[in-house]
Structure 1
Amino acid sequence: MRDGIRETYTVNEEDVGERLDKWLTEQMQDNDWDLSRSTVQTWLKSSIVTRIPTGKIKASDQIEVNQQYVVDLPAEEPVTIVGDDLPLDIVYEDEDVVVVNKPRGLVVHPAPGHLRGTLVNALVARGIILSSLGGEMRPGVVHRIDKDTSGLVMLAKTDRAYYSLTAQLQAHTVERQYTAIVHGRMTHQNGTIEMPIARDPQDRQRMAAIAGGKQAVTHFQVIERFDRYTLVRCRLETGRTHQIRVHFAAIDHPLAGDPVYGRRHTLQIAGQALHAQTLGFEHPSTGEWRVFSSELPEDMAGLLTGLQAGRIR
């Protein structure tokens, strides 16, 4: 069990009607909790889990949109995130938000067993104060990208910004475009992959495109084709864990370098060839639409140059 953690989970419109215990278990597993549904049911009977707005709760409750559930595990000592002086590319910062171009290999936030060396630790070292919403180990974190995915991620510095950005994510109005190199020569110029995603029942560390999962929609456009690979641009409509990786693997075009869903013989890159290249959102204070972009990292750019020159096949 992980002690000394306070995390908040908000019900999206697409989850309305699910049983509370099932929904909360899935939400927590998606945020790296290794727990069972029976554990969550026990917590629901105690003060460990509370609801906003307040009221009696039970495992069989059907959840309603915008309800918030707080998981509060007390500790003898409060959790403190230690600052780590790490190289960090801050693309934008003001009093409300900070946008970071995360390098491949960097975890977004601390977790039990990995308390140091994350993006949040690096921001703390710079004196950047993040919203306390999201949890003690995920302050200001409104969305994540995988450790071995590079690119743009936004964090909230104020509670107002946190509520605004999470609401935009839930409404699917945040612009999130990724560039990826996938196996195979794709025949369609563009298309949409719409397959529900859930935890793989055979391996809880993996996700899978299976019936009964949560709705997941990925739009794609082919940028360039090579002999055995394709460069694609992806736009997320939803934001499920490992969504792009799972969707392209499901249509037999797994991401190059993907150690979980990919192929044994692949391009030489430390992780999946996936970069969060464009991020757009409505500014929480001004209402202005802001869009940020970043160049491909050196490893992906090098692979692309090799493919274009025919040195890599």
Structure 2
Amino acid sequence: MKEKIRIIEHGQGWICLEKPGGMSVHNDPGKDMISILQKSLGRGSVEKLQPAHRLDKETSGLLLVATTQETLTDLSALFAARKVTKRYKALVHGHFDQDRGSWDTPLTKSAGGRTDPRGRGKRVKALTGYTVLDRSIHYTLLDIELFTGRKHQIRRHAKLAGHPVVGDPRYGSPRALEFLKNQKQFESMGLQSYFLKFQDKGRTITLELPDLPLEAARLFEEDKS
């Protein structure tokens, strides 16, 4: 993948990047986002880049990366204490009767699967809030806020609610994925981390992406006509 990684903002000890969908953060040496960014900084760079939180490979959007160990410790503590506001835009299948709501089905801490999104073993509290932003013929665009941090939480809750994320390769139906690929030329996933807010040395930092990724925006607009 040769997509350009866009730097959205930077501060003392951190960089905020826009991660492309389909790119791993740090589990694909030489091809993942951290490797590509480290290479772009050049061999003389003394910065050691480390992600401060997680984004699934298929999810696009804002990612905070620490450039110092001190900042990594500080940011990790903020995320662990739920002191970072994280919001996502999710393009999901189907329609909603209410414009606002929440999903609170308990989930395992590890990922589930297509046939068992809750996961096997001990399940713990999970809370996802959503607001309807827009609708098309077959899809709904949601603004989602996470109040807990379970793996694949949005994707699992959406699946359990009967509204899987469009293009989700793990929790979406094979039939829907085949239709999107062959009939709509859509091979992405409709989930974007678009908003982050946190405190940085006494300042409130607010970061936001105004638009959906091009593929998701195209699919959504085509479905309105």
Aligned match of 1:30: none
2:33 pairs with 90, 96, 119, which one? 119
Gaps of 5+ in 1: 1-83, 132-138
Alignment of 1:140-289 (within 5 A): 140-198=50-108, 199=110, 208-210=117-119, 212-263=122-173, 264-265=175-176, 267=180, 268=184, 269-283=186-200, 286-289=201-204
Contact kept? 1:141, 1:154, Cα under 8 Å: yes
Alpha-carbon displacement from aligned partner over 1:141-195 (angstroms, at most 9, x marks no partner): 2212111111000011112211111111111121111111111111121111112
Asked whether the equivalents of residues 197 and 206 of structure 2 are also in contact (C-alpha less than 8 Å), the reply is yes
- In the superposition, the TM-score normalised over structure 2's length comes to 0.85
Aligned to 1:103: 20
Distance in 2, Cα, partners of 1:305 & 1:259: 22
Aligned-pair identity in percent equals 29
Contact 2:117–2:159 (8 Å) recurs in 1: no
Q: Deviations over 1:271-301 (max 9, x none)?
A: 3211111111111xx2211111112111111
Q: Which residue of 1 aligns with 2:7?
A: 90
Contact 1:219 1:234 in 2 (8 A): yes
In 1, Cα distance between equivalents of 2:146 and 2:111:
21
Moved more, 211-220 or 167-176: 211-220
What is the CA–CA distance in structure 1 between the aligned matches of 2:36 and 2:53, rounded to whole Å?
Answer: 17
Residue 290 (1) aligns with residue 205 (2): yes
TM-score, normalised via structure 1 length = 0.62
Q: Distance in 2 between matches of 1:223 and 1:208?
A: 25
SS of 2:50 mapped into structure 1:
coil
Structure of higher RCO (CA pairs closer than 8 Å, 6+ residues apart): 2
Q: What 5-or-longer segments of structure 2 have no aligned partner?
A: none
Establish whether residue 304 from structure 1 lines up as the match of residue 213 from structure 2.
Answer: no
User: In 2, Cα distance between the equivalents of 1:302 and 1:145?
Assistant: 23
- Name the aligned partner's letter for residue 126 of structure 1: S
In 1, Cα distance between equivalents of 2:2 and 2:99:
43
Distance 2:202 2:40 in 1: 27
Contact 1:194–1:218 under 8 Å retained in 2: yes
Divergent runs of 4+, >3 A: 128-131
Shift in alpha-carbon separation, 1:291–1:116, aligned structure 2, 3 A:
same
